[in-house]
Copies of this chain bind each other. A is one copy, B any other.
Amino acid sequence: MTELIERLRALVGAANVLTEGDLSAWEQDWRKRARGKALAVVRPGSTVEVAGVVRACAAAGVSIVPQGGNTGLVVGGVPDASGRQVVLSLQRMATVRAVDRDNLTMTVDAGCVLQSVQEAADQAGFMFPLSLAAEGSCTIGGNLATNAGGTQVLRYGNTRELCLGLEVVTAAGEVWDGLTGLRKDNTGYDLRQLFIGSEGTLGVITAATLKLYPKPAATLTAWAAVPSVAKAVELLALAQQRLAAGLTGFELMGRFALQLVDKHHPQLRVPFVQDSPYGVLLENSDSESEAHARERFEALLADAFEAGLCTDAVVAENLAQAHQLWHIRESIPLAQADEGLNVKHDISVPISRIPAFCEETDALLQREIPGVRLVNFGHLGDGNLHYNVQAPEGGDHAAFLRQYEDRVNTLVYDQVHRYNGSISAEHGIGELKVDKLPHYKSPVALALMRSVKQALDPQGILNPGRVVHG
């Protein structure tokens, strides 16, 4: 091991091989669910250095945990407790390599923080539409490795859809330069797609070529009070028909989720919180003008009201109001935490089946745990719900978690499976769900995944034990 450490120091400089002091920033996960112990945290400064690190670790038989901003939610980016894994942090590789205006692309190092990617796009006069809560600290490499979702998937797709090319260091320590900015390239298997979403288990993403979009002329936000999940699904269909790609956000929030925000953050003034079972946040991005956006939005909401799809609605008058509405949506996780521990899920089901799924699963949970409270909110336009379960009013939250967490997970995931859904819509598998996957994924799919892992990482040195057991 000493020999490997020496080799790594020679490769990336002694200052970039951390073995002592407080390494919790790299060893502990974001949600503090797991605390590992690294042999070393290695911070290479270039793709060539990454390749050298991988070769050195492979030669020593030491496994590697690639890490970006360490904001993952499924324990996929921290080392295990063995003290024998190397954390390969991409954070020092944070250069925007190029912006190509006429090609609507930018090429960035994997360690660029998402927000800095957004800002570089903005400064060039364009938009990079990936947006999520951790954007101030997560890296684009991590977003790609986990195929991150966020709030604009409805229009722009997941991270997968925003990437045209990749540069990857393979498990053998070779560099694959796949940094094309091409929108069409049918020269063989799409290797890019294989690495995206593989959570660092097939290769180390070191750079990417990303799609840019022209900035919209105006972006407006509205809030609608909606009587049921079924009506929210109907409203979604109407909004998609009327606004087409202009509909860039459609978030559903259940009454209890909003009541929690109202209770713990009353200054946010949640609209219609007492009057309506559900709130829906809509965003309309218009390439023409604010006046046009407003006219289209108001016509949509008037027709929705007429059709009984909403009982009230408000369009934000200005940017400050729009931010406030989004702030309410984004404060739900915090308000939940203020209320106490809870059981979280990140699930998706076909949009058409969401009303029945919610009704049935709500009832099953009530039967199992009388008085249980459901914090149901999420990206309805993507079929993605954060269907979270909170202890009954006044109960002991920690005791609730101890007693019910496994039962609640099993009940919810079994329901998701029955509805042809996914037990991880946007957060990934990591270590947290790796043992659950065999219950919900077909043996054929799992066998194919193992074949791919074996083919691309035969030695099993890349993030072992995550996503799929080798």
Contacts and interface: CB of A to CB of B under 8 A. Distances in A.
A104 B296 contact: no
A102 B233 contact: yes
Contact of A424 (B161, B187, B353, B428): B187
A168 to B, nearest CB: 9
A189 B198 contact: yes
B455 A180 contact: no
B352 A102 contact: yes
Nearest to A379: B184
A246 interface: yes
Contacts of A246: 244-245, 287
Contact of A175 (B233, B384, B444): B444
A19 interface: no
A187 B103 contact: no
Tallying the copies of this chain within the complex gives 2
A214 B296 CA distance: 16
A421 interface: yes
A379 B174 CA distance: 34
Interface in A377-431: 379, 382-384, 420-429
Interface in A420-470: 420-429, 433, 437, 440-442, 444-449, 451-456, 467-468
B193 A190 contact: yes
9 closest A-B pairs by beta carbon, nearest first, are A245-B245, A193-B193, A102-B352, A455-B455, A244-B287, A185-B422, A184-B425, A214-B241, A103-B352
A448 B190 contact: no
Contact of A428 (B186, B196, B213, B426): B186
Interface in A31-55: none
Interface centre among A285, A433, A448 (most CB of B within 10 A): A448
A37 to B, nearest CB: 27
Contact of A102 (B153, B158, B216, B351): B351
B100 A350 contact: yes
A294 interface: no
A194 interface: yes
A7 to B, nearest CB: 23
Interface centre among A244, A420, A455 (most CB of B within 10 A): A244
Contact of A350 (B182, B194, B245): B182
Nearest to A126: B241
Contacts of A288: 296
A69 interface: no
B181 A350 contact: yes
Interface string A358-383: 00000000000000000000010011
Given A104-B351, A456-B451, A383 B182 contact: yes
Nearest to A427: B186
Contact of A177 (B429, B442, B452, B468): B442
A271 interface: no
A197 interface: yes
A245 B189 CA distance: 28
A147 interface: yes
A467 to B, nearest CB: 6
A422 B187 contact: yes
Contacts of A149: 184, 186
Contact of A422 (B184, B237, B440): B184
B103 A350 contact: yes
A188 interface: yes
A422 B240 contact: no
A448 B168 CA distance: 11
Given A181-B420, A187-B437, A243-B287, A455 B445 contact: no
A348 interface: yes
Contacts of A296: 288
A440 B187 contact: yes
A160 interface: yes
A50 B312 CA distance: 53
A242 B287 contact: yes
